Structure 1
Amino acid sequence: MKLDGFDYRRVDAEGIEINCAVAGSGPPVLLLHGYPQTHLIWHEVAPVLARTHTVVATDLRGYGDSAKPAGAPDHAPYSKRAMARDQLLVMQSLGFDRFAVAGHDRGGRVGHRLALDHPSAVERLAVLDIVPTRYTYEHADATFAQGYYHWFFLTAGNGIPERLIGGDPEFWIRARMESRHHGGKPFHPEAMAEYVRCFSTPEAIAATCEDYRAAATIDLTHDDASYGTPLTCPVLALWGASSFVGRTYDVLDAWRSYAEDLSGEALPSDHYLPEEAPAATTKALQAFLR
């Protein structure tokens, strides 16, 4: 499955090949996905946005058909800083020095770091169904540990999550995604097949575990250093009315100390807004992107 009407290419980001799909004309917008998916989460949203914007949808480092470099003891290869730099280099290679970003789940965290590290590049930022990583860990409790148990499971060492997930990766993906879906449109079977295909290699499983290990270590170090310098670009927070994020947090309050120009709303969805509520997601992004 591919995005309708999009041109696919691989961009070399300082030795890391990033798979991306490009279409449209007009102001550029970068679309980032989350775990355990690929750029195809945007399969209903991206073609509509491409009518008025130049849309670039990528697979993050470690995901989809992008490169999956080996991890390191400090998890730096999967820090959001490294993953964000990949995306900056992709956009620059396509001729865009300034652009909007919309990121779901892990992609929202990469987008947040991209805006922090490269404020001159990010014109505006939309984050879908997340609160800041630092805020999440600061407010972790039993409810969070049960609802987001994978945040802890995936950080375990000694190859434990890699071995267990590797025993039946399709079960893991379907169980994670279907447990966070509430009403709305069902997942497209071809998109789901692509998620399973891309995730089911030892390299992909190891890379995505490293993503979460980085979030619990080096990303928090970076986030602590950045805290107190809020984003100045416009920030839109969207979340699912039925999602764990929507049920657990005052999302706008959680983002308020991280962004000066903040707006947002709940959409009729669980976690996967672009797939469960594509029309509402598209409408909100169109109004924000202009």
Structure 2
Amino acid sequence: MELFEGDRTTVEVGGGVRIAATVRGDGPPLLLLHGYPQTRSMWRLVAPELAERFTVVASDLRGYGDSAKPIGERYDKRAMAADQLGVMRSLGFDRFAVVGHDRGGRVGHRLALDAPEAVAALAVLDIVPTLHMFEHVDRAMATSYFHWFFLTQSGGLPEALIGADPRAWLESRFRGRARRQDVFPAEVMDEYGRCFDADTIRASCADYRAAAGTDLEHDREDRADGRTIEAPLLALWGESSYVGRNFDVLTVWREFAAHVQGHAVEADHYLAEEAPAETAAALRAFLEQGAAW
């Protein structure tokens, strides 16, 4: 299934890692990063609206979609953020805005910390920072986000169990985390299924293992050094999502970023697919505030 009309490209970012992206539009550059277990196709309903004002680069993260899924390489957010910085620089963009959903929001968070000169603005969709999540684990979080702990198990167990029926696992990630199932029609699920192969299963487990290990080390180092995000930050969350129901989202983000705004969207977890018009309008309003980069 086509993401949306645009120029498809693959960028070599070093170490043999190639990142797939679709580029469309004209104007200030904007990087869109997807979540788990998705691909850049998640932006299909939002990207065309944003491309009317911005040069949109919708990219697959390392380990997902049509991007490389290297064995034995790093899947911490620092490495994944460096990939995306390499994509944007290869396309001629030294300074740009970032919008990330779910895992993509965590990559965007790290990118804004590690390359503050490059990130002009950051929007995160339905997340609070990884460090805060792990430091506030309770029964509700462990139940709703059980996959955070399942996917970190070693010895190939999650890979084997998910690999036994990848489509069932894939569909389980959408059922119960969206208000309406009709936002994931068969052709969308088929595209996500096409990309959710054994290599993606392996790589995405590595992503979650890094989140529970190396990413926390990096986050704690930042906190000890007093490093926070200086770029303007927009937080959007689903009013019925776990994040929306269990966190004071803006208060949490203000512990990690200096300039925070945001609000709930009438959705569960998958804002860009459940409420594309509202999500696109909120992103565009935020990004146009400082679109001179």
Distance in structure 2 (CA, Å) of the matches to 1:281 and 1:184 = 18
Partner of 2:21: 20
Partner of 2:231: 233
> Which amino acid in structure 1 is aligned with residue 49 of structure 2?
V
Contact persistence 1:131–1:254 (CA under 8 A): yes
Partner of 1:121: 118
Q: Among residues 277, 280, 287, which one is paired with 1:279 in the alignment?
A: 277
Contact persistence 1:18–1:59 (CA under 8 A): yes
> Which amino acid in structure 2 is aligned with residue 137 of structure 1?
F
TM-score by length of 2: 0.96
Partner of 1:46: 47
Distance in structure 2 (CA, Å) of the matches to 1:36 and 1:85 = 21
- Measure how far apart 1:184 and its partner are: 8.3
Distance in structure 2 (CA, Å) of the matches to 1:197 and 1:257 = 39
Partner of 2:148: 151
**Is it true that 1:108 corresponds to 2:109 in the alignment?**
no
Percentage of identical aligned residues: 59
Q: How does 1:13-92 map to 2 (within 5 A)?
A: 13-14=13-14, 15-71=16-72, 77-92=74-89
Cα offsets for 1:189-245 (capped at 9, x unmatched): 32221111101x221100000000000000000011112211110000000001011
Distance in structure 2 (CA, Å) of the matches to 1:185 and 1:98 = 37
Distance in structure 2 (CA, Å) of the matches to 1:71 and 1:223 = 22
Contact persistence 1:13–1:90 (CA under 8 A): yes
Matched residue SS, 1:260:
coil
Distance in structure 2 (CA, Å) of the matches to 1:91 and 1:25 = 14
Identify which range, 206-215 or 173-182, moves more after superposition: 173-182
- Measure how far apart 1:250 and its partner are: 0.8
Distance in structure 2 (CA, Å) of the matches to 1:188 and 1:60 = 23
Q: Among residues 211, 225, 243, which one is paired with 2:207 in the alignment?
A: 211
Cα offsets for 1:140-187 (capped at 9, x unmatched): 111110110000000001100000000000000101111201148611
> Which amino acid in structure 2 is aligned with residue 256 of structure 1?
R
Gaps of 5+ in 2: 289-293
- Measure how far apart 1:107 and its partner are: 0.1
Contact persistence 2:19–2:60 (CA under 8 A): yes
Partner of 1:223: 219
Matched residue SS, 2:30:
strand
> Which amino acid in structure 2 is aligned with residue 3 of structure 1?
L
- Measure how far apart 1:246 and its partner are: 0.4
Distance in structure 2 (CA, Å) of the matches to 1:4 and 1:150 = 30
**Is it true that 1:6 corresponds to 2:3 in the alignment?**
no
- Measure how far apart 1:3 and its partner are: 2.4
RMSD, matched Cα: 1.0
Gaps of 5+ in 1: none
> Which amino acid in structure 2 is aligned with residue 245 of structure 1?
V
Matched residue SS, 2:258:
strand
Contact persistence 1:24–1:54 (CA under 8 A): yes
> Which amino acid in structure 1 is aligned with residue 160 of structure 2?
R
Distance in structure 2 (CA, Å) of the matches to 1:3 and 1:154 = 28
Contact persistence 1:240–1:273 (CA under 8 A): yes
Distance in structure 2 (CA, Å) of the matches to 1:5 and 1:209 = 31
Matched residue SS, 2:261:
strand
Aligned residues: 285
Cα offsets for 1:69-114 (capped at 9, x unmatched): 1136xxxx10000000000000000000000000000000000000
Cα offsets for 1:248-280 (capped at 9, x unmatched): 111111111101100000000000000000000
Partner of 1:257: 255
Matched residue SS, 1:271:
coil
> Which amino acid in structure 2 is aligned with residue 36 of structure 1?
P
> Which amino acid in structure 2 is aligned with residue 122 of structure 1?
V
Contact persistence 1:183–1:269 (CA under 8 A): no
Distance in structure 1 (CA, Å) of the matches to 2:68 and 2:46 = 25
